[in-house]
Structure 1
Amino acid sequence: MRHPYFQDPGGVVALAHRGFALDGRENSLTAFGAAVDLGFRYVETDAHATADGVAVALHDETLDRTTDGEGMVSELPWSLVRRARIGGVDPVPMLVDVLGTWPDLRVNVDVKSEHAVGPVAEAVERTASHDRVCVASFSAARRRATVARLSRPVATSAATGEVARFLLAHRAHATRLAAQALREVDALQVPVAQGRLRVVDAGTVAAAHAAGRAVHVWTVNDPDEMHRLLDLGVDGLVTDRADLLRDVLRARGTWS
């Protein structure tokens, strides 16, 4: 049975990347709220954890780039991280607030460090959001460790090594090995290309679907590219331009 995370009536998983923030205030409650106000059912976020074990929605391991604060998040207590302001305006949100503020919102959580594993799992448990969370990570070990701490299943996405094994097997026409590479996950969340390597094409989409896995592509901000990928049959798109993706899906009659 397919995980409830994927059961969206629109048929296309439209993911607002770090919310919707053209002013740079990514991963803020304001950005997530803006995506919700546009009608998005899905958002993507990143997770680190403070020194005292609070999971926060933040992409970087430091506060320096996106906030008026400084320092490694993992070395700072929540009492200091909470004072930092994204773009000088918005506080860094706890993951429990992202999950708890919008009880119907589906959240793709990229676990960014080993230190964040336990706190991310605790945030999912505290909000009982298992049915609407997808746990992702570039590291399969981090994803597995997070999922192992949960009382109920969540949706999962392939890590870098699993994606590489899938692509190698697919290109070798080893259908069984390609499917086996994705046996632990529900989705393949990948860029269109990695360097010179084309990751998403008609063949890889078909192979993932043959294995029963969804294909989500990041980070797509051009409407023509959105149309092209949707024509290939991808199941979802991750974008910084939630407004443009909404318009594309409306034009195609697939906006829920």
Structure 2
Amino acid sequence: MPPRWRFLDHPGPIPFAHQGGASDFPENTMRAFQHAVDLGYRYIETDVHATLDGILVAFHDDTLDRVTDRRGVIGELRWADISQARVGDGDDRIPRLEDLLGTWPDVRVNIDPKHDASVTPLVEVLTRTVAFDRVCIGAFSGRRLARFRRLTQNRVCTSMGPTEVARLRASSYGVPVGRFAPACACAQVPARAARMPLADRRFVDAAHRRDLQVHVWTINDADEMGRLLDLGVDGIMTDRPAVLKEVLERRQAWA
């Protein structure tokens, strides 16, 4: 039976190019995303912040300082200023989310809204670009996810927030935890949390019993990719898309 969410409808484990493949190119740049698409990736992952004038940009940090030649808090700067920043040592610019969605209309995008101020602009962009079926929204804030789900009336695929992940983990030990939100379609988690295994077979089985997928981030080692695939995880996010592709090809699981 195909999954309820079109975003998750993929024949085999889903390979995600995390930030486009941040080990190979400057993170969250059009060049990184293009490289992933050229490798055959149909899924990319990115983060978004809203500028002072409400433009959503694909960028991880709150500030420009770490990876660009400019300084300042994104939420306190206008797009006209941010668009002039260069990422890394080359001429890469910070893209808008709308640029990603428009450039590769067949690619699906996993989006992490990094700030509460990004939620309403995110809903507006997805509505304007008719992209509800092309995205999955994940965040470290349960409150942010709840607001997004409410604004989109549970019509967009979302991953679990931290409390939901903890409840799913508890259910894997037989603790009754009730139902999850209607738009909660997957658990996107690290392999370990607080030095303890999180994405283990018990957790994966508990998710699958509830028809939830498990996607693990951010995995850059080929052996670890193989170990997780052996556990039955449904997706892997990586900064090294060529490595993950090779692992899946060896298993005849690249699609």
| Distance in structure 1 (CA, Å) of the matches to 2:53 and 2:77 | 8
Q: How far 1:120 sits from its partner (Å)?
A: 1.2
Q: Deviation digits for residues 125-156 of structure 1, max 9, x if unmatched? A: 12111111001111122122223333771111
| Distance in structure 1 (CA, Å) of the matches to 2:181 and 2:157 | 13
Count of matched residue pairs: 252
The one-letter code of the counterpart of 1:2 is: R
Corresponding residue for residue 190 of structure 2: 191
Which structure 2 residues correspond to residues 11-160 of structure 1 after superposition, within 5 A? 11-88=12-89, 89-150=91-152, 153-160=155-162
| Distance in structure 2 (CA, Å) of the matches to 1:86 and 1:4 | 33
The one-letter code of the counterpart of 1:205 is: V
Q: Name the % identity.
A: 45
TM-score (norm 2): 0.94
Q: How far 1:27 sits from its partner (Å)?
A: 0.3
| Distance in structure 2 (CA, Å) of the matches to 1:226 and 1:154 | 28
Q: Which runs of 5+ in 2 are unaligned?
A: none
The one-letter code of the counterpart of 1:207 is: A
Q: How far 1:78 sits from its partner (Å)?
A: 0.6
Relative to structure 1, the CA distance from residue 35 to residue 23 in structure 2 (aligned partners, 3 Å threshold; closer, same or farther) is closer
**Partner of 1:91: helix, strand, or coil?**
coil
Corresponding residue for residue 248 of structure 2: 249
Contact 2:7 2:135 in 1 (8 A): yes
TM-score (norm 1): 0.94
Aligned-CA RMSD value: 1.6
| Distance in structure 2 (CA, Å) of the matches to 1:52 and 1:151 | 25
Corresponding residue for residue 209 of structure 1: 208
| Distance in structure 2 (CA, Å) of the matches to 1:31 and 1:160 | 29
**Partner of 2:250: helix, strand, or coil?**
helix
The one-letter code of the counterpart of 1:117 is: V
| Distance in structure 1 (CA, Å) of the matches to 2:156 and 2:83 | 28
| Distance in structure 2 (CA, Å) of the matches to 1:34 and 1:57 | 16
Q: Which runs of 5+ in 1 are unaligned?
A: none
The one-letter code of the counterpart of 1:219 is: T
